[in-house]
Amino acid sequence: MNTKELKQAFIALYGEGDGQIQAYFAPGRVNLIGEHTDYNGGYVFPCALSFGTYLLARKNNSRIVRFATTNFDHRGEVVLDEPFEKEGKSWINYPLGVISELHKEAKEIEGLDMLYSGDIPNGAGLSSSASIEMVTGTALNDIFGFNIEKMDLVKIGQNAENKFVGVNCGIMDQFASGMGAKDHALFLNCETLDYEKVPLVLDGIKIVIANTNLRRGLAESKYNERRSECDAAVAEISKVKPIPNLSRLSLDEFRELSANITDEVIKRRAHHVISENDRTLRAISALNAGDLEEFGKLMNQSHDSLRDDYEVTGKELDTLVEEARKIPGTIGSRMTGAGFGGCTVSLVKEDSIDDFISQVGEKYKEKTGLKADFYIAEVGDGAKKIEL
């Protein structure tokens, strides 16, 4: 992203002004393993990416906040002394939700001119919404000197999405965007928020993200449906063993208690969550031991569980994964994110990347009629102020 060009676009939109323009960045994320576990109090293993959302902001000596982005034509503004109202399905709801949450905590802001610019592919499931929330919180915290701890900004971002936008996401996306560290992945317990920065030592291996370019129309409704199914599993098991969430059970405990779940679909949903926690723990151990082959096998098992037990993949994601596994240099491949479109993440040997992109892309188009986009992911830092 060329921040100098972004500054010129800001001035063209809002004028020269008499205040200082400040610049901020928050990344998207990719989750290496641990999918649909975060809202079940489980383990996840995401890393921040080198692309995300940039924000330029400047005080405007008014009680109005103006929102614009280089990504969409739609712009908006809010008067700070009036109630904050959700604006349909507009992207503006993400920063507005953060402002609303800060307002609840008696953190008052002044008028601002704000210009966002994202280089995360739209609809790819790499957490563009979380990056907008985190770049907004980071900017407001800095500009107005709130001194809010980064972890609390993460919670504000999640609350903005849950309570204002209306998506019942877990905390992983905002956490990865806010707390990311270059060349590290984050091993997070989503119930306790205990976490560990784990070095990503991938000698001769790259993280390759493949975007299905499928419109993810089902993702939000099915996401909320899966949450309800997991809640139903907790309710059934709690009749014999009270638990606050599925992740309180080990795989062995679940096998003993699973007969108490009478609905086979609900049982499979629960099995995915609990087995995925087990896979994630084993994957971290494998990575720490330098055993990337084992890590890759666990990635493969993760996708298979998301396909068979959790049923959130679909033809497009399954095709990308199936074709990726045919490439000799692929260590492991799985869907990442909510599912029903979005992206896969694969570990691929560097000398196989060209073959991977050409062959997987060709077979994917042949089988689905869609063109996949591929990105060699660099692991970057979390949300921060940047220089213009």
Active site residues: 173
Distance CA 285, CA 277 (A): 13
Distance CA 310, CA 235 (A): 18
| DSSP code of residue 248 | G
Burial of 273 (0-12, 13-18, 19+ CB in 10 A): buried
User: Could you write out the DSSP letters of every residue in 165-218?
Assistant: I-----SHHHHHHHH--TTEEEEEETTT--EEEEE---TTEEEEEEE-----TT
Distance CA 34, CA 327 (A): 24
User: Could you write out the DSSP letters of every residue in 76-142?
Assistant: EEEETTS-----TT-TTHHHHHHHHHHHHTT-----EEEEEEE-SPTTSSS-HHHHHHHHHHHHHHH
Distance CA 185, CA 379 (A): 8
Q: What are phi and psi of 33, to 5 degrees?
A: -165, 155
Q: SS3 string of 257-304?
A: HHHHCCCHHHHHHHHHHHHHHHHHHHHHHHHHCCCHHHHHHHHHHHHH
Distance CA 84, CA 160 (A): 12
Distance CA 133, CA 198 (A): 25
- The arrangement of strands across the sheet holding 205-211 comes to 330-336, 343-349, 205-211, 373-377
Q: How many CB atoms lie within 10 A of CB 229?
A: 18
Residues 6+ apart with CB under 8 A from 359: 323, 326, 327
Residue (of 254, 207, 205) closest to 233 by Cα position? 254
Phi-psi region of 243 (alpha: psi -120 to 50; beta: other; left: phi over 0): beta
